[in-house]
Amino acid sequence: MSELAVLGLKVGFLALLWLFILFTGNVVRTDLFGRKVSAAELSASGTPGAKPQKLSRRALRQLPKTLTVTHGKQAGLQLPLGDGILIGRASDCQLLLDDDYVSTRHARISRTPTGYQVEDLGSTNGTFVNNQRISTPVAFGAEDTLRIGRTLMSAEK
């Protein structure tokens, strides 16, 4: 190949390499601030194929209102579920459990468009819904029992 073609290919390759980096920089720039995700899209991504509006209303009516400790040292304790509850030993938890098997931030009950769900926050001894140890967020309705250590809880309307 001629000297000129070699030079051209060499410079062309380097130019493309730097173009790649410029593209990367542009992606980083446009990625900086994110974008608004609409509520409809969020619930659509949460429950694929479901009609979010209708589902959400029905779910709202059936939502449990309070969490009651049914068994354990604090049996009888009730607190409103509200927007969600953090359960654990830490002082920022809404439900401070007096139980030897509770981690600092043990589990979280949060409200989703389809109802409440329980999520284990990497606890040492696990979170059980209807005696099944959970590893991913699972739905938590009025008929479900939640067990953390030796404490049993259930949601009531």
- Of the candidates 66, 36, 43, 64, which has an alpha carbon nearest to the alpha carbon of residue 114? 43
Between 98 and 124, CB nearer to other proteins:
124
Q: Hey, what are 39's tokens?
A: 């509520």
Q: Is 127 in the site for other proteins (CB under 8 A)?
A: no
Q: What one-character-per-residue DSSP string does 105-150 give?
A: EEEEEEEETTEEEEEE-S-SS--EETTEE-SS-EE--TT-EEEETT
Between 42 and 73, CB nearer to other proteins:
42
Between 99 and 154, CB nearer to other proteins:
154
Q: Enumerate residues 39-98 that contact other proteins by CB under 8 A.
A: 39-40, 42-43, 45-46, 56-58, 60-62, 65-66, 68, 70-71, 75-76, 78, 80, 82-84
**Shortest gap between Cβ of 21 and other proteins (angstroms)?**
6
CB 122 within 8 A of CB 104: no
